């Protein structure tokens, strides 16, 4: 295990590992312990009572954070003709068809989200080995395969995030930046938990939202009382 720096050790000592903090307390604590020279991301980890290996217990969806992510999200769109024009007008950073596919196959990766119209999926499907490992393959379940490019691009730019449960049953996403106000971070966190509850799969049994923790990029994790994180 890598040796922790003095700042991390000091921050860890300020966190009571046996306590479940209210969401608002946890947010304020995480903000106060962030010491990096850059604007750290505030990450949220939610442990769900699911077994993702079973199809009826997969959790995947999209959540529009009310206060955005604090990141400049670069959006690539596969579309032709009027739909390509619509995507450009909505603020897409990269728009194309075969040309865009070839650029991605050649190694272009300066994008954070990929959106496509349904008629382009046969083409996009050839990029499975490129987009799949990065979790960027367009999917209608999360609104990235759609004819409504204006909304899809706009939501992506304004704070829509995708979530997908990992094999361990954990959802891990960024909910903003340390520079955000505490109220804005708490609001984003509750929006995510609400989206996860709405995405509860039919096969989930027992307690669904089991554990929640938040941290900054360089800071220690802070355990959150799950009841305090509901909208």
Q: pLDDT band at 14, cuts 50/70/90? A: confident
**pLDDT over threshold 60, residue 106:** yes
Q: pLDDT band at 221, cuts 50/70/90? A: very high
Q: Are 51 and 155 in contact (CB under 8 A)?
A: no
- Most confident range, picked from 7-11, 32-36, 108-112, 187-191: 187-191
pLDDT of res. 2: 46
Q: Do the strands 75-78 and 113-116 form a parallel or antiparallel pair, or are they unpaired?
A: parallel
pLDDT tens digits for 20-55?
999 999 999 999 999 889 999 999 999 999 999 999
Cα 165 to Cα 172: distance, rounded to the nearest angstrom: 8
Share of the chain above pLDDT 90, in %: 80
Q: 75-147 maps to which CATH number?
A: 3.40.50.790
pLDDT of res. 231: 60
What is the gyration radius of the CA atoms in the chain, in angstroms? 19
Instruction: Pull the structure tokens for residue 56.
Output: 């009826």
Burial 108-146 (b: 16+ CB within 10 A, else e): eeebbbbbbbeebeeebeebeebbeeeebbbbeebbbbb
Mean pLDDT of the chain: 93
Q: Where are the domains positioned within the chain?
A: 19-68+160-229, 75-147
pLDDT tens digits for 158-213?
888 889 999 999 999 999 999 999 999 999 999 999 999 999 999 998 999 999 99
Q: Which of 52, 44, 45, 46 is nearest to 201 (CA)?
A: 52
- Rama region for 100: left / alpha / beta (φ>0; ψ in -120 to 50; rest): alpha
Which value, to the nearest 10 degrees, does the dihedral of the CA atoms of residues 109, 114, 117, 123 take?
40
Instruction: Pull the structure tokens for residue 79.
Output: 């579309």
Q: Which CATH number fits domain 19-68+160-229: 3.30.190.20, 3.40.50.261, 3.40.50.720, 3.30.360.10?
A: 3.30.190.20
**Mean pLDDT throughout 145-152?**
96
Rounded to whole angstroms, what are the CA distances from 173 to 89, 140, 157? 28, 20, 16
């Amino acid at each position: 295990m890598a040796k922790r720096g003095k700042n991390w050790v000091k921050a860890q000592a300020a966190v009571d590992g046996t306590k479940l903090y209210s969401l608002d307390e946890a947010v304020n604590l995480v903000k106060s312990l962030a010491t990096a020279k850059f604007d750290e991301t505030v990450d949220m980890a939610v442990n769900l009572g699911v077994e993702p290996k079973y199809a009826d217990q997969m959790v995947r969806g999209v959540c529009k954070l009310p206060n955005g992510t604090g990141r400049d999200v670069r959006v690539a769109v596969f579309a032709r003709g009027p739909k390509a024009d619509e995507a450009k007008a909505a603020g897409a950073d990269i728009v194309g068809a075969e040309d865009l596919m070839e650029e991605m196959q050649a190694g272009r990766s300066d994008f954070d989200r990929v959106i496509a119209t349904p008629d382009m999926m046969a083409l996009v499907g050839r990029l499975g080995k490129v987009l799949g490992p990065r979790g960027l393959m367009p999917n209608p379940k999360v609104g990235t395969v759609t004819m409504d490019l204006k909304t899809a691009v706009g939501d992506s730019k304004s704070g829509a995030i995708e979530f997908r449960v990992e094999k361990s049953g954990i959802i891990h996403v960024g909910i903003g930046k340390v520079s955000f106000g505490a109220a804005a971070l708490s609001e984003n966190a509750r929006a995510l938990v609400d989206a996860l509850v709405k995405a509860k799969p039919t096969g989930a049994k027992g307690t669904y939202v089991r554990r929640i923790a938040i941290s900054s990029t360089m800071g220690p994790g802070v355990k959150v009382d799950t009841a305090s994180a509901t909208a």
